[in-house]
């Protein structure tokens, strides 16, 4: 199914983990995909190679989503080079976990700046080209922690819940321009982010998940692909939960 032929997709944090699977999937549907990263260029190059080896198209673009000026410049460059930014997936995210009582202000700020403010910067920049074309898709990667809360993740949960509010307000503001805005809220997905959890926590998690396994990045990519495609054209302001039944 190459239903995204002619579209340009930007995936923040697209170099590895869930972002990589999203890049591979959107490129397989015919989109030209911009793989964003901030520090590990080798991971971005690996993702580009996977896409190109499959006969699809991808470019790499390095910027920090938390830096407003850098985001603006990057989107200007992508529009100049590719003509548009039709699909934006706000996927870049970090954790700085710790109990509230011990959480440093810097842990709060770093997570907010990357996970929430970064999405605001990117959506604002990407929407200019979308409005001109009267077509666009913004997909924000939230988290089960943002809807159910999670001890040790006050900063992360607040940022991910914030993304859902951003999604709904943007969806209402941009609907008249044929731009849909949705969130995808993954549960526990096997990536470097969850590899950080110790074995005991991972075993406990599996007991909390009705389907009793961690999800894969491809499970999330499938939901993003659906929302980005014409099949998702009548869906806006929603949150799609991909969590094995962990939160219902």
Q: Which residues are catalytic?
A: 156
Using CA atoms, how far apart are residues 144 and 149, in angstroms rounded to an integer? 7
**CB of residue 34 vs ligand NDP: minimum separation in angstroms?**
12
Cα dist. 28→19, 82, 182, 213 in Å?
14, 18, 21, 26
Sign of CA dihedral 132, 136, 142, 144: positive
Which of 85, 114, 127, 236 touches ligand NDP (CB under 6 A)?
A: 114
Q: Where are the beta strands (DSSP E) in 45-170?
A: 58-62, 87-90, 136-141
State the angle between helix axes of 217-228 and 17-28 in degrees (0 to 180), rounded to the nearest 10: 40
Residue 16 interacts with ligand NDP (CB under 6 A): yes or no? yes
**CB of residue 241 vs ligand NDP: minimum separation in angstroms?**
10
The mark string for 182-211 relative to ligand NDP (x by CB under 6 A, - otherwise) is ----x-xx-xxxx-----------------
Using CA atoms, how far apart are residues 110 and 133, in angstroms rounded to an integer? 34
Residue 66 interacts with ligand NDP (CB under 6 A): yes or no? yes
The mark string for 23-62 relative to ligand NDP (x by CB under 6 A, - otherwise) is -------------xxxxx--x-------------------
- Where does this chain bind ligand NDP (CB under 6 A)? 12-13, 15-19, 36-40, 43, 64-66, 91-94, 114, 118, 141, 143, 186, 188-189, 191-194
């Amino acid at each position: 199914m190459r239903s995204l032929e002619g579209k340009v997709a930007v995936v923040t944090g697209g170099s590895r983990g869930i972002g990589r699977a999203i890049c591979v999937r959107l490129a397989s549907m015919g989109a030209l995909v911009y793989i964003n990263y901030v520090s590990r260029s080798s991971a971005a190059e690996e993702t580009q190679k996977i896409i190109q080896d499959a006969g699809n198209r991808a470019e790499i673009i390095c910027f920090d989503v938390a830096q407003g000026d850098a985001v603006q410049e990057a989107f200007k460059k992508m529009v100049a080079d590719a003509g548009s930014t039709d699909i934006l997936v706000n996927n870049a995210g970090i954790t700085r976990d710790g109990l509230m009582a011990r959480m440093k202000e810097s842990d709060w700020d770093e997570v907010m700046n990357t996970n929430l403010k970064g999405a605001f910067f990117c959506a604002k920049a990407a929407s200019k080209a979308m409005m001109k074309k009267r077509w666009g898709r913004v997909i924000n990667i939230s988290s089960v922690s943002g809807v159910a809360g999670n001890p040790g993740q006050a900063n992360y949960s607040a940022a991910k819940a914030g993304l859902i509010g951003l999604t709904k307000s943007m969806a209402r503001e941009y609907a008249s321009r044929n731009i849909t805005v949705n969130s995808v809220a993954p549960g526990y997905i096997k990536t470097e982010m969850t590899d950080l959890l110790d074995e005991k926590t991972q075993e406990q998690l599996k007991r909390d998940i009705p389907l009793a396994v961690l999800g894969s990045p491809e499970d999330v990519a499938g939901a993003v692909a659906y929302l980005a495609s014409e099949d998702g054209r009548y869906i806006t302001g929603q949150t799609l939960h991909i969590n094995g039944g962990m939160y219902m």
